[in-house]
Structure 1
């Protein structure tokens, strides 16, 4: 077969037509084999046990182009909701390095718990409290919805994931970045209002500040009453379309939340305290909504922290 290569497998044969870059594989019984999965280059999947939580998770790790070529230690980005966000963060970080001269990074994606639905896992692990009023239903038949384990999950991240990553990869653990969106940003705020030095930079997109009737506003007020400083670097990003529809009255509920007004109010409260160690910036992306804004938040949040050669 001219212009083609043939690879014989134990199960059958694969015919790779070089000119068309199409591979067709047949089992010995003549049935079509399942196509191979697409794999991101220089990525790894690691299993990790959350001992106190008694749950299993995976971490997804993306290594930079130069990782195998020297002994450099790299800034490390920790992104939650990794089942969705890991590939986005990895690809945008690489593109900013290759085409905009931004420094290379290691990306660590934090998966949902093994065996749990994504909604179930994130609702439990990223939220600070069980809502005082709610009518949420579980996405997992036979299991009641779970909430309010952000503190315990945060301790798993800092106490177990951090040492694991530091042991197995050449990362600079003095340059850690947290990346979250929506409920994921609630987890970031949990860190900020309890142990702000857990990360050196926080990228928080579209935080769900309406959650539990605005519990994070209460937490912010309590923090301010007992602290003179908040040593942190924070980039808030949100879509300009994440606002209350005309004719509705704003409240601290999911149905009547004005997320844009909420994040402006929250950021304003932080700035009003004049914490000497707090660097905070808010960027509104006017034509974006809750579903579309994350790549913009990520790009500008990285630029607010990572250095560029250009």
Structure 2
């Protein structure tokens, strides 16, 4: 009896076991090229002053032809720094969270991209920063390893004179719903725009802003602005991860307390009592500098460009 059971079990196992031929993976055809996100367009848009070969990446809402006129007036738009990371992220958030305009307005995504032959680290270190901290004594050399810093004013001029006007005209963007979203150094750039040309954008989403940069230079810029102006017509949303303070542990910052800096920034602006200013800040539990952007950007977009509603989760 035992022998018969063993024979039956072996026979059944042979029937259920796939053959080597049936589990062999098919040959993968050669790749046909990089995947292109549907509805996206790359526009070379060099800086006529510096000659740098910048690009703008544009993504229209789903099912909108590139030359179609807006059906209900000019289009809202979100300009994002650090385009290789933020452009696909914000595009995905609009499509997933937005639910075709119900939860988020169907906005145009505009990626501010550096020259294709230049590293993102070099570009953002040069173009997003307001000064070169290496000219000051006593700065740690390992914290500033890029080739150039402090050309934020030059890049801001490119944004104001070239990129924003060209994209706004081509895609019929609404100046009253034109958002600038930046993270880290990108938020540092957004703060520079805020105090130099606040009307360039209607809303500013500052993600984990690097206010620590060059001995908190942006707080000096804020004070200089306050001496010359009685109003700041801007809407500002800040987000920062709870781990972006200084404490023991692998997810906490080792040097710069971004949570305290963001709170200080909001406090200073509120004390100015600018009649047209609106500012809101969020500290997101469980998030650090590397993980906070998706959740923070989602909250910022819901704040800046709410949809037609009612919201559906």
Give, in angstroms, the shift of residue 201 of structure 1.
0.2
Task: Tell me the distance in 1 between the aligned counterparts of 2:239 and 2:144.
Answer: 29
Task: Tell me the distance in 2 between the aligned counterparts of 1:101 and 1:259.
Answer: 30
Q: Point out the structure with max Rg over C-alpha.
A: 2
Task: Tell me the distance in 2 between the aligned counterparts of 1:95 and 1:171.
Answer: 22
What is the CA RMSD across the aligned residues, in angstroms? 2.1
Correspondence 1:56-135 to 2 at 5 A: 56-68=53-65, 71-72=70-71, 73-98=74-99, 100-131=102-133, 132=136, 133-135=139-141
Correspondence 1:234-273 to 2 at 5 A: 234-246=236-248, 256-273=255-272
Contact 1:77–1:177, Cα closer than 8 Å, also in 2 = yes
- Hey, what does 1:300 align to over in structure 2? 299
Contact 1:203–1:297, Cα closer than 8 Å, also in 2 = no
Q: Does 1:54 pair with 2:51?
A: yes
51 and 34 in structure 1: CA distance in 2 versus 1, 3 angstrom threshold: same
Task: Tell me the distance in 1 between the aligned counterparts of 2:257 and 2:238.
Answer: 15
TM-score by length of 1: 0.82
218 and 255 in structure 1: CA distance in 2 versus 1, 3 angstrom threshold: farther
Contact 1:206–1:237, Cα closer than 8 Å, also in 2 = yes
Give, in angstroms, the shift of residue 137 of structure 1.
7.8
- Hey, what does 1:281 align to over in structure 2? 280
- Hey, what does 1:14 align to over in structure 2? none
Flag the structure with higher helix content: 2
- Hey, what does 2:38 align to over in structure 1? 41
Task: Tell me the distance in 2 between the aligned counterparts of 1:102 and 1:256.
Answer: 36
Runs of 4+ off more than 4 Å: 136-139
Give, in angstroms, the shift of residue 173 of structure 1.
3.1
Task: Tell me the distance in 1 between the aligned counterparts of 2:291 and 2:35.
Answer: 24
Flag the structure with higher strand content: 1
Give a deviation string over 1:159-207, Cα, whole Å, max 9, x none.
Answer: 1112221332232233210000000001000011111111000000000
Task: Tell me the distance in 2 between the aligned counterparts of 1:34 and 1:194.
Answer: 47
Give, in angstroms, the shift of residue 53 of structure 1.
1.8
Contact 2:195–2:221, Cα closer than 8 Å, also in 1 = yes
- Hey, what does 1:231 align to over in structure 2? 233
Task: Tell me the distance in 1 between the aligned counterparts of 2:176 and 2:278.
Answer: 17
Contact 2:131–2:149, Cα closer than 8 Å, also in 1 = yes
The more displaced of 68-77 and 80-89 is 68-77
Give the gaps of 5 or more residues in structure 1.
1-21, 26-32, 248-253
Contact 1:240–1:285, Cα closer than 8 Å, also in 2 = yes
